[in-house]
Amino acid sequence: MTAHEPIQRVRIYLSERDTSEGRSLYLLVLERLQREGATGATAIRGVAGFGPGHRLRIAGPTDLSNSLPVVLEWIDRAERVQRVLPLLDDLIPNALITLEDLHVYRAALRSSGRFGERSVGEVMLRDVVVVEQATLLADVVARMLESRQALIPVLDQQGRVAGAITAVDVARHAGLALPLRVLGALTEPERAAILAGLPTRTSADVMANDPRTIYTEASIPHAVGTLVEWGLDALLVTDGDGRFAGLFGVEQALRAAIARGRSADSPVRDAELPTPVHLVMQRAVPTIAPTASLVAALELLLPATDRFLIVVEDGRPIGILSDVQLLARLDGSTRIAVLQALQMPAAPLSPLFEFGAAQPTAGDLAEPAPTIAAHTIQDDATLLMLEQGHERLVVVDDAGRLMGLLARRALLRALAQERVG
């Protein structure tokens, strides 16, 4: 801790007789401070005192009124005090509260970390598509495709979370043979033909009834840890009354990390060296030669979860190939055959691939690979991903040879593993 870092002391003056919902008020305040991430606070019971009524109270066997003063003392970083203190207003609207700056000789306080004292509510996505329990499944799918939202909240009439719907939920309950990302790449007639077979079901029929939620005032590191631990793309955010407030997902976490790092103007810098991407990248990557046939590409793409390949020539990445790209690059009977293969990956490939006209190669169909040098620091890689809208970056060495693959979730895991405090 530097001598110039602003530290403050908060004192809250209460009485033993102050209660709320049958519990001692000072205990409720301590619990609230603990929940909101304060470093620590102490309740100090007075041995004697008087208040505005000038009635002297003295601790002892003759005092049975339980009305002695209790002072809560809380010392913390000024940034954290400014965030948490207003969250006590509903509990203690009339309490005397003092605030003073301190000059600290030595202290161990909770680190503000990469994300500072910002809460989930400060960085969450607020413009969110939501549905009701009675919304038809076809409408849910249409809104998912239009918004490209990974998670659709299902709300009750009071605005509270009744459930949530993901693309996986839709595919499982609707019997869709194609993931939503591929449906979005189809022509209107192709998509309409597939969606016409959707069962007449509602949001309530397909939603997850107990989705993961997080409180608006929860810390960002806590939310990031939850995303990583449960393998989620997003969390539903609720306010103090339990009503839905927004979404916090991978992109919000990455943007929060970058905003913190880029806005710091303090002369004090972190002692730790920034993390290069080669320490967080995925080393085992799916590759294919540019001369490989369309059939060979499909044989690798169809069983893969992400349906994504890197086209490599002489050890250097020259492009990327995915199921969405195939549909965007092909037309006519070849496109129809590829669409059939994507819908029925376990079935034999169409005879068209064997007896039709000459088929394009993986190199013909690939798009340029977005690359990044292995020594690039984590924050710069994150910024590049967000600014250019990439889900993945291909990592290369100084000679341009393939080293690995950097995905957004890898950056999220790196954030979750950073030490705090």
pLDDT bucket at 378, cuts 50 / 70 / 90: very high
pLDDT score for 345: 87
Name the percent of the chain lying above pLDDT 70.
89
Same domain flag for 230 and 98: no
Which DSSP helix (H) or strand (E) runs through 385? helix 378-388
Give the E-state strand segments of 185-228 in sequence order. Answer: 213-215
Phi (first) and psi of residue 231, to 5 degrees: 65, 35
> Which pLDDT belongs to residue 355?
54
Q: Is residue 91 part of a domain?
A: yes
Q: Are 133 and 237 contained in the same domain?
A: yes
* Rounded Cα–Cα distance for residues 399 and 288 (Å): 20
Angle at CA of residue 39, ends 83 and 70, nearest 5°: 90
Say which amino acid occupies 395.
Answer: V
In this predicted structure, the answer to whether residue 162 has a pLDDT above a threshold of 70 is yes
Q: Does the pLDDT value for residue 65 go beyond 70?
A: no
Helix axes of 188-195 and 137-147: crossing angle, nearest 10 degrees: 150
Q: Which of 36-45, 91-100, 238-247, 352-361 has the lowest mean pLDDT?
A: 352-361
- Evaluate whether residue 169 is within a structural domain: yes
Scan for tokens 């949001």, then name that residue: 203
Q: Over 90: is that where the pLDDT of 356 sits?
A: no
Same domain, 313 and 370: yes
Q: What is the pLDDT of residue 53?
A: 64
Distance CA 246, CA 125 (A): 5
The predicted pLDDT at position 57 comes to 67
For the domain that residue 236 is a member of, what is the CATH number? 3.10.580.10
What pLDDT does 50 receive?
73
- Token pair of 421, please? 């405090």
Residue 85 lies in a domain: yes
Residue 223 within a domain: yes
Give the pLDDT confidence score for residue 370 in this predicted structure.
95
Which of 285, 301, 281 is CA-nearest to residue 293?
Answer: 301
281 and 258 part of one domain: no
Name the percent of the chain lying above pLDDT 90.
Answer: 57
Q: Name which of 270, 258, 264, 272 is nearest 220 in CA terms.
A: 258
Residue 64 belongs to domain with CATH number? 3.30.70.120
Give yes or no for residue 40 having a pLDDT over 80: yes
Q: Is residue 65 part of a domain?
A: yes
Which H or E run contains 289? none
**pLDDT band at residue 190, thresholds of 50, 70 and 90?**
confident
Q: Are residues 371 and 309 in the same domain?
A: yes
Alpha-carbon gap, residue 351 to 333, rounded angstroms:
11
Task: Count the domains in the chain.
Answer: 3
Average pLDDT over residues 314-325: 95
CA distance 253 to 261: 13
Q: Give the domain extent around 403.
A: 277-417
* Same domain membership, residue 45 and residue 86: yes
In a domain, 309, yes or no: yes
- Give pairs for 263-272: CB < 8 Å, separation 24+: 268/2
- Answer yes or no: do 16 and 134 share one domain: no
Q: Which whole number is the average pLDDT over 203-211?
A: 93
Domain-ending residue, one of 76, 102, 128: 102
269 lies in some domain: no
pLDDT of 284 above 80 = yes
Are 358 and 364 contacting, i.e. CB atoms less than 8 angstroms apart? no
Within-domain flag for 410? yes
* Domain match, 305 and 388 both: yes
Does residue 63 carry a pLDDT above 70? no
> Which range among 56-70, 357-371, 402-416 shows the weakest confidence by mean pLDDT?
56-70
